[in-house]
A and B are shown apart, each in its own frame.
Chain A
């Protein structure tokens, strides 16, 4: 997993819960990297999982909630860093339908070792999109956060329902319906 996912995560934890919490979850996680991350490095996904598990214990928030909140923060990072890539889109449904065939394709060109999920468009109209998410990392809540932020980015709203096809969350269907004002 790319270092930026860790560094942004830890800075968000520090913002919300303080440096003590950052220190505590790093100490408890017994990480191979000892919690030393740089945004340009690459680290094992299991370290992220350990950090999440210990943060969840410490804060009594679910891992899903934590990932959702983190995604909201991470979207801001994406907009700042890859605004160029996002500016090609005028419509949130168009953008979400293009993650697999355009956005993450470009991401892999920049980071050949990126670990990315697979999105498959199951159904698509102008205001409805059904996406299938597949990833061994089961970061579906992270995806959900990014999706809501995507709509917000275009000043729109959507009702997104999440349907676990596999109980461990490695395969999930999103049904995204645009809410017209």
Chain B
């Protein structure tokens, strides 16, 4: 081999050798870089994991301390519950984990929420909200607003459903109460309007009679003709008395539901004896009282007003030489039924509709103001009872009413 050739080969060899060293150095550098990178990655990973467990802790704290009930379920089975939910229903977490959603639901509500749940599971909807009932451990029922959402994994498969449960029993009760209150108010308003209308109308009629009488007196006074004066005064005083009792009646009527509620035991036997003594019963009328009246709950004074008005009406209606007024009762499952009957003149068909309205008296009897039956009706309405009557003109009338037990 020539010297030049050897030189060339030597140079080539030298280049290869140095190149190899160079390559090794580069690779060495690269592996050091790789090592450092991997250390860095490890650190980042750790930090990320720390973050994650911190987040998990935060979530756990929210779950534990939420005032809303939280339930995790999987296809109807209860997987996990929080304290608020356990307290809401009175079950322990262990008891709940043995149960399914159906067993704490009211069967009527269940189909509706199950349908929604199916839609959720099939991905048709992502979340829903229902007001449904839950059965507590003590078998009582609460209403709760329930928000359900699906928790899915990356592929869209449901891992579980999470429900946020808020007790709205109190809210509903308040709503109900408010509705009742508004209904009550509306009725009172209407009563008041009717009342004002009727009072002004009906007070005018005795006033008009009095006006006529006074004018008559004035004219006769001027002409010095004093015959019949006594009679006219009598009539004036009569009208005044009537107005007085009319105003009295109006006051009594309007006080029925304005006074505070009293709920005491009322011995009806005693009450009726007392009432009969209070009313003047003419000799030709026979009172018949059932022997064993029950003891009921209510306001003594109002119930007395009730019987007093019916019995007075019955007595007033009697136009026969031998009168008879009878008070009877019957006990039903949930209410008492009372009846007051007379053998008086009866109520003509034409009055049937109007009889309970205020100031509808059947005739111009001096002592009948027409307030009595409207008071009866109002007291019975106050106690959520019913009132009705049967009557035959010339033969007599029976008023019936019921009071809840």
Contacts and interface: CB of A to CB of B under 8 A. Distances in A.
Nearest to A10: B15
B12 A38 contact: no
Contacts of A85: none
B8 A19 contact: yes
Contact of B19 (A19, A23, A37): A37
Contact of A36 (B5, B9, B15, B27): B15
Given A38-B26, A40-B26, A41-B26, A19 B12 contact: yes
Interface in B10-28: 11-12, 15, 18-20, 22-23, 26-27
A20 interface: yes
Interface string B21-57: 0110011001000000000000000000000000000
A38 B15 contact: no
A35 interface: yes
A35 B15 contact: yes
Contacts of B18: 34, 36
Majority SS of interface residues in chain B? Answer: helix
A34 B15 CA distance: 8
Interface residues of B, number: 14
Contacts of A144: none
B23 A23 contact: no
Nearest to A27: B11
A162 B35 CA distance: 47
Contacts of A26: 11, 15
A19 B15 contact: no
Contacts of A41: 22-23, 26
A39 B8 CA distance: 22
A22 interface: yes
Interface residues of A, number: 13
Contacts of B23: 38-41
Contacts of A36: 15, 18-19, 22
Interface string B144-170: 000000000000000000000000000
Contacts of A39: 23
Nearest to A23: B8
A23 B12 contact: yes
Nearest to B22: A38
B290 to A, nearest CB: 105
Contacts of A22: 12
Interface string A147-166: 00000000000000000000
Contacts of A20: 5, 8
Contacts of B15: 26, 34-36
A58 to B, nearest CB: 14
A149 B30 CA distance: 33
* Max chain B C-beta neighbours (<10 A), residue from A20, A34, A36, A41: A36
Nearest to A18: B8
Nearest to A24: B8
Interface string A2-17: 0000000000000000
A44 to B, nearest CB: 15
A19 B19 CA distance: 17
B8 A38 contact: no
Contacts of B12: 19, 22-23
A41 B18 CA distance: 13
A23 B30 CA distance: 30
Interface in A21-49: 22-23, 26, 34-41
A37 B8 CA distance: 17
A18 to B, nearest CB: 9
Nearest to B18: A36
A35 B30 CA distance: 22
Contacts of B20: 38
A7 B15 CA distance: 12
Give me the 6 closest cross-chain CB pairs, A-B, nearest first: A38-B23, A23-B8, A36-B18, A38-B19, A36-B19, A36-B15
13 contacts: A19-B8, A20-B5, A23-B8, A26-B11, A34-B18, A35-B15, A36-B19, A38-B20, A38-B22, A40-B23, A40-B27, A40-B30, A41-B22
Given A19-B9, A39-B23, A40-B26, 5 more contacts: A23-B11, A26-B11, A36-B15, A38-B20, A38-B23
Interface of B: 5, 8-9, 11-12, 15, 18-20, 22-23, 26-27, 30
